A and B are shown apart, each in its own frame.
Chain A
């Protein structure tokens, strides 16, 4: 697969994973770009030991984790102020709510659920994070429970 094909196929996917991790458009864009810079630099070293998708998602999630060293993120466990008011139940605000809720999860959970929602197979998520497939299955289930609860809290129609 050429770099151009990779860029076309994976740009939106990687952007969404970064958005899930950071919930900040500009930072997600920057990290997506950093990811593709690394992909470009390392593409000749890719040995087909894993699927190309797994390889790219690994680079993306590691770049997301490196953001920690660069800036302080929102304090854990606190809902952003604007979420205290219940938003109207239109789709756009639901999308925003989902990304906001994900961005409040612990770092590893954010990566796991972002990849799951991006339709990455659980075996691949295991290969990306270094956890076992069983762990991923349980983790995904728990995170979805957590997200549903948050949604029910802010979106009474669910």
Chain B
């Protein structure tokens, strides 16, 4: 029991194994950068194309009712606002500073997770509300020209799809992501407490 343990000597004996080829590391870094950028761009491009498509239809339409115009404006605005807000909130994700000290970094991670939670709850809900409202106003003029049966079918298809997207597809993904984010926030805050608790006891 008398001899003290040389932890440093033991620590250094851990073999690090073969170093991966440096070029492979650099290649992976470049791929990762490109993939992250492409993913963000492609999501926004799809949405922006939809907005442009709606505007093109509007320009070529012979509309006489103001609800159609208001509907189109609402649809385009909700798409543009969604892209702007979610890209703005996602930006810190790619600008997080892993070279910051642990305490600062953990706080950054917690705030990023909270922003993600905000996008998934408030922003998504508002987007769907305005999109549905815009779509409804837009369709009013055309619905009036149709027979009751066709008007019912088109309305059912359109809003049925929106409801399916929001309540089934969206919710399912939402629940999974929420559980992950809430878990991650709790864990990060628990580690942060290790730092804070130590500061207070000293």
Contacts and interface: CB of A to CB of B under 8 A. Distances in A.
Do the two chains bind? yes
Interface of A: 3-4, 7, 11-12, 15-16, 19-20, 25, 29, 33, 36-38, 40-42, 45-46, 55, 58-59, 61-63, 65-66, 68-69, 91, 94-95, 98-99, 106-109, 111, 117-119, 127-132, 134-135, 138-139, 144, 147-148, 151-152, 158
Interface in B19-64: 19-20, 22, 25-26, 28-29, 32-33
B191 A65 contact: yes
Nearest to A46: B99
13 contacts: A3-B26, A58-B99, A62-B100, A65-B106, A68-B191, A69-B184, A106-B191, A108-B198, A111-B102, A117-B8, A117-B11, A129-B101, A131-B198
B5 A151 contact: yes
Interface string B96-139: 00111111111001000000000000000000000000000000
Could you tell me the dominant secondary structure of chain B's interface residues? helix
Contacts of A62: 98-100, 102, 105
Interface residues of B, number: 42
Contacts of A134: 202
Given A107-B191, A158-B1, 11 more contacts: A3-B22, A40-B29, A42-B99, A45-B99, A59-B98, A98-B10, A106-B194, A117-B11, A128-B101, A135-B198, A151-B5
B137 to A, nearest CB: 42
B188 interface: yes
Given A36-B25, A58-B101, A98 B7 contact: yes
A15 B17 CA distance: 9
Contacts of B109: 65-66, 69
B105 A107 contact: no
A55 B103 CA distance: 14
B195 A108 contact: yes
B187 interface: yes
B25 A37 contact: yes
B101 A16 contact: no
Contacts of B28: 33, 37
Given A58-B100, A131-B195, A95 B184 contact: no
Contacts of A16: 11-12, 14, 16
Contacts of A69: 109, 180, 184, 187-188
Contacts of B17: 15, 25, 29
A69 B174 CA distance: 17
B5 A148 contact: yes
Interface in B175-200: 180, 184, 187-188, 191, 194-195, 198-199
